[in-house]
Amino acid sequence: MLRLIAIDRLVHFVVLGVLAVAVFLFAHERRRLRGPFYRVVDDLQNGVGGPSGVRGHGLVGDLDRAFAANDRTLWAIGLVIAAYAVLEGVEAIGLWRAARWAEYLTFVATSVLLVPEVYELTGHVSALKVCTLLINLAVVGYLLFAKRLFGLRGGGRAEEAVRERDSGWQALERIYPGG
């Protein structure tokens, strides 16, 4: 199960890393991109019989706000996304190696982000948002109970005892008695 969570975190790392690079590139090239962006949007809207000019809705409105944003704001957003990507990458590596510290890190990081996820659902409910919340709740529950975090069900000592019992020759002899 930890490896499955690690793969999920690796996917987050890659997506967030690409997004951070895109934000940095956009912040760097924004002035050069502004003219072509507005020309393309205006041509598309005129081509389908819509009004000229950018309107504040949807992706076009989001991009319009991005072009209007302060340079420092864009760089700060890029840094936050990059830092989050690094966190996800560290979690992925630690979970892949079954490191106890990574279980705690993943639990804390995922739990903290449940608050904004629930808040997002108060504004607009979508299948993706609900699915993301359910997956993250399952990750938190698994780490808390199955991995015995924070001393639950005997804590780390009990986890180590189970691991010790389920490895080695004695474990194999229990599974395949008499060879």
List pLDDT tens digits, range 52-81.
555 556 666 777 778 888 889 999 999 999
Is residue 139 one of the residues assigned to a domain? no
* Residue 109 exposure: Cα atoms within 13 Å on the Cβ side: 17
Is residue 126 one of the residues assigned to a domain? no
Tell me the average pLDDT across 168-179.
68
Is residue 29 one of the residues assigned to a domain? yes
Is residue 108 one of the residues assigned to a domain? no
SS3 147: coil
Mean pLDDT, all residues of the chain: 83
Q: Are 75 and 24 in contact (CB under 8 A)?
A: yes
Is residue 167 one of the residues assigned to a domain? no
Is residue 140 one of the residues assigned to a domain? no
Give the range of the structural domain holding residue 78, as residue numbers without chain letter.
1-98
d(CA 116, CA 135): 15
Number of domains in the chain: 1
Is residue 145 one of the residues assigned to a domain? no
Q: What is the pLDDT of residue 50?
A: 54
- Using the predicted structure, report yes or no on whether residue 126 has a pLDDT greater than 70: yes
Report the percent of the chain where pLDDT is more than 70: 77
Region for 168 from its dihedrals, namely left if φ exceeds 0, alpha if ψ lies in -120 to 50, beta otherwise: left
Q: What is the pLDDT of residue 70?
A: 86
Is residue 136 one of the residues assigned to a domain? no
- Please tell me whether the overall predicted TM-score, pTM, comes out greater than 0.75 for this model: no
Q: Are 133 and 116 in contact (CB under 8 A)?
A: no
- Using the predicted structure, report yes or no on whether residue 13 has a pLDDT greater than 80: yes
Q: What is the pLDDT of residue 65?
A: 79
